[in-house]
Amino acid sequence: MPIYEYLCPNCNNRYEKKEGFDAPSEHACPRCGQIARRVFRPPLIMFKGPGFYSTDNKRSSWGNSEPTATSPTESSDSGSSSSPVEAAET
């Protein structure tokens, strides 16, 4: 359940209340009894940059890149098939 902040325009009392999404936006102020209204604030989290939504523009090079060179650990030479570990065990 979200926590909403309320402000009473009569006594400037600010208070928070844990309520469901379907709760009314006006309540009686606990201090003076007048009608207090819900204060709307921006969300605490902001998503910036590309890649957060499926509707974002995607670069056409994504997925169409050419294969890169093999890393040094993946040698392609066809030397002996034994690894250093196998040579040490014999």
* 34 assigned to some structural domain: yes
Q: Which residues does residue 27 pair with via DSSP β-bridges, in sequence order?
A: 36
Interval 12-69: pLDDT, tens: 999 999 999 898 989 899 999 999 999 988 777 777 766 666 665 655 555 555 555 5
Residue 68 in any domain: the answer is no
Count structural domains, the chain: 1
Instruction: Give the per-residue pLDDT at 41.
Output: 80
Domain assignment of residue 54, yes or no: no
- Cα distance between residue 60 and residue 55, in whole Å: 14
What residue numbers bound the domain in which 25 lies? 3-39
